[in-house]
């Protein structure tokens, strides 16, 4: 599928343009994996926490590029539904029972847009006493300032509604190997 096309079940939603190609994403994920591996040692007990559902493809690709031992778990939060803007009401649907105490936690997000999800998720994670908490995001719109900003950013994101590579609109478009704009 290319920009301008739509698919089954997507109604009238069409991609306006491809923002980041599959090759762009692959290159940047490889770089991020190297940077993250260089920040930790094999003794650092890294726990990668992916924010579902949007980050699942990014997390899968990223952890294969991090050359140190790590564990993976996920959090599930929701705020968009079938809207082009966050509702502002972030619901934490799954909070893992994995112990974070004394561990180096890497929270992996698909996109930082309004910052609402991170504002909802970070305080309880810090309350569980990790050795450290860092954030890696594939996309960052730089619309907000957070108390804890992302240490690793894949791409500076344009002010557009982005889909593909795990990001969705009403559950559609996640499967695209690139990131496009609606």
Q: Give catalytic residues, as residue numbers.
A: 113
Q: Per-residue b/e over 1-16, b at no fewer than 16 CB within 10 Å?
A: beeeeeeeebeebebe
Burial 151-162 (b: 16+ CB within 10 A, else e): bbbbbebeeebb
Q: What is the DSSP letter of 132?
A: E
- Integer-rounded Cα radius of gyration of the chain: 16
Lookup: tokens for 13:
């939603």
Calpha distance 48→50 (Å, rounded): 6
């Amino acid at each position: 599928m290319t920009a301008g096309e739509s698919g089954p079940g997507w109604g009238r939603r069409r991609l306006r343009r491809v923002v980041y190609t599959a090759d762009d994403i692959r290159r940047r994920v490889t770089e991020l994996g190297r940077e993250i591996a260089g920040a930790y040692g094999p003794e650092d007990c890294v726990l990668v926490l992916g924010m579902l559902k949007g980050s699942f493809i990014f997390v899968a690709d990223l952890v294969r590029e991090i050359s140190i031992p790590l564990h993976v778990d996920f959090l599930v939060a929701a705020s968009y539904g079938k809207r082009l803007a966050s509702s502002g009401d972030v619901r934490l649907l799954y909070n893992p029972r994995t112990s974070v105490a004394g561990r180096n936690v890497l929270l992996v997000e698909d996109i930082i847009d309004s910052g609402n999800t991170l504002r909802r998720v970070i305080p309880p994670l810090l309350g569980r006493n990790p050795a450290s908490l860092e954030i890696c995001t594939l996309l960052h719109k730089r619309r907000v300032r957070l108390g804890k900003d992302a240490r690793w950013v894949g791409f500076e994101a344009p002010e557009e509604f982005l889909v593909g590579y795990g990001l969705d609109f009403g559950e559609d478009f996640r499967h695209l190997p690139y990131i496009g704009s609606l």
